[in-house]
Amino acid sequence: MTSVPTIGVLALQGDVREHLRSLTAVGARALTVRRPDELAEVDALVVPGGESTTMWKLADAFELLEPLRLRIKEGMPAYGSCAGMIMLADRIEDGVTGQQTFGGIDMVVRRNAFGRQIDSFESDVDFAGRGSFHAVFIRAPWVESVGDDVEVLATAEPGGRIVAVRQGPLLATSFHPELTGDDRVHAYFVEMVRKDGEEL
């Protein structure tokens, strides 16, 4: 992997611009992905926060569902924040009827899980043992359960819920690091991309 990886941000819906900024700030070449030919150009992909039901329907309409599933199966690194976490989950709870994901991470993610208690909140979490991280949650999902190959990178109050995970080249957070100007999660992802799925 070159030292300046090309990382796409899935730009169907959601907070695309914020992710482009964070990725650029940590030394990646960042570009938007809306079409299969654009997906083919990138080394890795960020799936932004937004609304997973809309993202799923647009990915279907833009004929990106299958190409994305294939790239993920082939080992493309991907990072999903919030709605993006939902999109990378193999299984979801509280989805709308028929809701599909790209999948890749062996976990069950509950949509709007924190949102049933409180719509949005902020909390300090310890991310990947790298110190305290100020996390912003907006109608956020939590991870209900994970398979054996999934590493838990952060939990949050209320409830000590799992809010960040990694499985090989795939990373997901319930919160939105792209909104706070603290680019350490993006730096972690770019490091993952450079190291090609190895331990950090």
Q: Is 52 in the site for ligand GLN (CB under 6 A)?
A: yes
Tokens of 113: 């899980």
Q: How many C-beta atoms surround the C-beta of residue 131 within 10 A?
A: 9
Q: Which one, 33 or 87, has the nearer CB to ligand GLN?
A: 87
Q: How far apart are the first and last CA of the chain?
A: 15
How near is the Cβ of 47 to ligand GLN at its closest, in Å? 10
Q: Is 138 in the site for ligand GLN (CB under 6 A)?
A: yes
Q: Would the CA dihedral through 177, 78, 192, 149 be positive or negative? A: positive
82 is catalytic: yes
The one catalytic residue in 41, 134, 157, 176 is 176
Closest CA to 153 of 131, 179, 137, 136: 131
Q: Is 186 in the site for ligand GLN (CB under 6 A)?
A: no
What secondary structure does DSSP assign to 93-125, as a single string? ESPPTT------EEEEEETTTGGGT-SEEEEEE
Q: Is 91 in the site for ligand GLN (CB under 6 A)?
A: no
178 is catalytic: yes
Q: Which one, 91 or 139, has the nearer CB to ligand GLN?
A: 139
Q: Enumerate residues 25-44 that contact ligand GLN by CB under 6 A.
A: none
Is 111:80 a contact under the CB 8 Å cutoff?
no
How near is the Cβ of 85 to ligand GLN at its closest, in Å? 8
Contact residues toward ligand GLN (CB under 6 A) are 49-52, 82-83, 86, 111-112, 138-139
